[in-house]
Chains A and B, each alone.
Chain A
């Protein structure tokens, strides 16, 4: 039972949706408070986020650094464009692998739904090629553990 969807839309978009049993306000805080971000935005088992700079205001800087504790790591930088507490966040981000990937423009919405919240994250890449590259390789670094697990299953 997966509550999440991840799909491509048009030529340049990737849309992720997920339902949460919490208020839009709690979700907004979990996406903007660095101490909370460090508790969940970690990817596969074993990875941590030792550095989390998150200035939640228009023009504010974003810098997330991930580490697997074995000398491997990568980071993401970005800037906030718009923040509407507790319903909408717009930012741009890029991964450094170590070369920066093209900017990913991300709009995150938190809409009340029943007793919970529907989160919709709409990513816009510069072009179709960049989107396919992101899906194919951009998240590879964080995917290693899942990949190893999958290989074990197949």
Chain B
């Protein structure tokens, strides 16, 4: 599945401080559910539930290592969010480039007075 299809889920997933903290932890490297649960005052099932939301949003992936399933950041999902924010920046920047021209006209009009 293309990660761009999960943008709504990805932004919704980020609307929770615990999930943002989990992503920040995973940005430092792989971690198991137990390792992730440690810094939070949360049970392992609660962390697992957050991880499920992040996995469904395409932001976190896992692999099997014996009985453990270490989680890591899913680069493609993160990149899709980056692209979206880049587009927002682009549309705003188009406005501001027009504003540059409007301002130049105001300032040159002032000089002529």
Contacts and interface: CB of A to CB of B under 8 A. Distances in A.
Contact of A133 (B11, B91, B98): B11
Interface residues of A, number: 38
Given A6-B92, A23-B107, A40 B102 contact: yes
Q: Which of B94, B99, B106, B110 has the most CB of A within 10 A?
A: B99
Contact of A136 (B7, B89, B103, B110): B7
A137 B9 CA distance: 11
A44 B17 CA distance: 33
Contacts of A51: none
B40 interface: no
Contacts of B12: 129, 132-133, 136
A70 interface: no
A75 B92 CA distance: 17
B16 interface: yes
A3 B91 CA distance: 14
A129 B89 CA distance: 20
Contacts, number: 96
B91 A146 contact: yes
B8 interface: yes
Contacts of B88: 6, 135, 139, 143
Interface in B74-109: 83-85, 87-96, 98-104, 106-107
Interface stretch (A26-34, A52-60, A90-98): A26-34
A105 to B, nearest CB: 18
A139 B7 CA distance: 14
A2 interface: yes
Nearest to A129: B15
Contacts of A133: 11-12, 15
Contacts of B110: 26
**Which A-B residue pairs are the 6 nearest by beta carbons?**
A136-B11, A22-B103, A40-B98, A132-B11, A129-B15, A132-B15
Given A4-B93, A22-B104, A39-B98, 9 more contacts: A6-B92, A11-B17, A22-B103, A23-B107, A30-B99, A40-B101, A43-B95, A45-B94, A136-B8
